Structure 1
Amino acid sequence: MLRAGVIGLGDMGSGLAKNLIKNGFETSGFDLSEERLAAFTALGGRAARSVADVAANADVVYVMVMNGNQAKAVILGDDGLAANMTDGGTIILTATIKPSEARQIGEELNGGLINLIDCPVSGGFPGAQGGTLTMMAAGTPDVLEKARPVMEAVSQTIHVVGERPGEGQTVKSCLQSLIGSIFSATFEAAALAAKAGVAGEVIYNVFSTSGAGCGVSRTALENIIDRKFEGTGSHIATMHKDLTIALDLAQGLEVPMQTASTAMQIFHAGKSRYPNGDNWVCTRVIEEIVGAELHR
């Protein structure tokens, strides 16, 4: 059986590790947080001393860090994965970064003996912890086939969206522009309902059973009406970053993105006012403007 590794054991990475272990994979993990490493060890994982330590003890390694600079350091650094994995090893880049950054990583690895699957994911904290993520995988058929057991252990759906680095991140950027827009529209609708005096339960039930009902709006509304604005596993900094990436891609391609741009401003306001909050905290900013709150 393939040996697995996970770099980054936060909300998402801990879910990857949990499901790899659950499915019988010997799993090494590394994180800068001692608390996260301890939690990983309690799950049955092997806590590594460094990225290089993970690389030396894994055939397939997930990289679930926050941004492109971190991904480059973890993969391409002197003590990184590429320099320390056994020939034929595979890196699965599940972090969401700019397509151009994924392409750069791929170019640095080109001609090397380490494989790269550009594979951002969707499903958030519940999907990571439950092993039901949706994967947008770009890699060559042979590499994807070899890594498939490790990928199936953490996901419900694997979409093969291309073969080249950057193609997975491009699809994720398009997806996040939509998700961010749905979120922001839900926040505004929630504030409108609050100001109009409509109960949150009514709005939730109607929206959930209408044509607008979807997992994105339902999750947002449920957290809003229960006033859960922190600790839900969907930190606002992540969506803020993802919308920045989507708009950067759109600017480079000269594609107008009016709705996503508005969503970006709503998330920017939320992140500025409540930097430790989750996505739904944006609603509080709008509620403060209109002087009303939506409760269940």
Structure 2
Amino acid sequence: MKTAGVIGLGDMGSGLAKNLIKNGFETSGFDLSETRMAAFTDMGGLPKDSVGQVGRHAASVFVMVMHGDQARDVILGENGLVANMAEGGTVILSATITPAEASAIGHDMEGSGIHLIDTPVSGGFPGAQNGTLTMMAAGAADVLDQNAEVMQAVSATIHRVGENAGDGQTVKACLQSLIGSIFSATFEAAALAAKAGVSGQALLDVFSSSSAGCGVVNTALENIIDRKFEATGSHIATMHKDLTISLALASALGVPMHTASSAMQIFHAGKTKYPNGDNWVCTRVIEEIVGAELHR
């Protein structure tokens, strides 16, 4: 029986688990939330009482947590994956953390007999739930080959971007600087249209059929004009964190990031005013300044 595991069963991790099960993997999982664990059990997963228990069950374990400290504890903690997985097992680090954090985890795993694939993902909640994520995978070629099937169960596109831990996170940081900037430009354009009296549907029709149309723009604008600012699977805290990583990397390398820095300020404003909102809630902050709202 093919075995896999997932640590962190939120919006993204639950999607990983769902598609692993769908593709014939006996999938164990752990999350601190009882509600998430119950949902995981209902979909056919094998709930475990600890990270270590998942490690003892699964040959490959996805780690989908929020921050680097959590990833380090899950992987290298006293009852973590490295301490419990059988030799030759693989930790698939699918969470987005800093390149330096991923590199340090990889360094500290050396000689453990457990492999690491550093592969943050793109595609958000829909991609996770539909098994269509894009993976930015970094690891030894033979380890990537060995884990091809389990990764293909959750991803439609797997890019091999390097061999070292941290390479995947570096590519993700570059990607998020672009996505965050596109989001922010869309939020501003939506507020401009609202103030000018343009209908949201007209704006969506033009944007989606123009050279500016893309999944990032179209999804953002659809949520804005339908006034869906919460529970869409794209919490503002995640993009805020990702842009923080992108800008920290740029600072360390001495790379000017004028547009991404401006985007960060827009996300600062959105997260401060509406901490429970999704990315598109930034538009509400701008709308409140100009005194107009964009509706379909």
TM above 0.5: yes
Structure 1, residues 103-155: CA drift from partner, whole Å, max 9, x if none? 00001001220000000000000000000000000010110011110000000
Give the 5 Å matches for 1:1-296. Answer: 1-296=1-296
Residue 190 of structure 1 aligns to a residue whose secondary structure is: helix
Unpaired segments ≥5 residues, structure 1: none
Instruction: Give the AA of the match of 1:200.
Output: G
Residue 294 of structure 2 aligns to a residue whose secondary structure is: coil
Count residues with an aligned counterpart. Answer: 296
* Distance (Å, rounded) in 2 between the aligned partners of 1:202 and 1:118: 42
Instruction: Give the AA of the match of 1:251.
Output: S
Residue 147 of structure 2 aligns to a residue whose secondary structure is: helix
Instruction: Give the AA of the match of 1:47.
Output: P
Say what the alpha-carbon RMSD is for the aligned residues.
Answer: 0.4
Instruction: Give the AA of the match of 1:56.
Output: R
Contact 1:2 1:60 in 2 (8 A): no
* Distance (Å, rounded) in 2 between the aligned partners of 1:240 and 1:9: 21
Instruction: Give the AA of the match of 2:176.
Output: Q
Instruction: Give the AA of the match of 2:213.
Output: G
Deviation at 1:208, TM superposition (A): 0.4
Deviation at 1:228, TM superposition (A): 0.1
Residue 79 of structure 2 aligns to a residue whose secondary structure is: coil
Q: TM-score, normalised by structure 1?
A: 1.00
Deviation at 1:2, TM superposition (A): 3.0
* Distance (Å, rounded) in 2 between the aligned partners of 1:146 and 1:240: 34
* Distance (Å, rounded) in 1 between the aligned partners of 2:100 and 2:111: 19
* Distance (Å, rounded) in 1 between the aligned partners of 2:274 and 2:164: 38
Off by >2 Å, runs of 4+ in structure 1: none
Contact 2:2 2:24 in 1 (8 A): no
Contact 1:6 1:13 in 2 (8 A): yes
Structure 1, residues 15-38: CA drift from partner, whole Å, max 9, x if none? 000000000100000000000000
Instruction: Give the AA of the match of 1:224.
Output: I
Instruction: Give the AA of the match of 1:185.
Output: A
Instruction: Give the AA of the match of 1:249.
Output: L
* Distance (Å, rounded) in 1 between the aligned partners of 2:250 and 2:49: 40
Identity of aligned residues (%): 74
Structure 1, residues 196-245: CA drift from partner, whole Å, max 9, x if none? 00000000000000110000000000000000000000000000000000
* Distance (Å, rounded) in 1 between the aligned partners of 2:68 and 2:269: 24
* Distance (Å, rounded) in 2 between the aligned partners of 1:203 and 1:67: 36
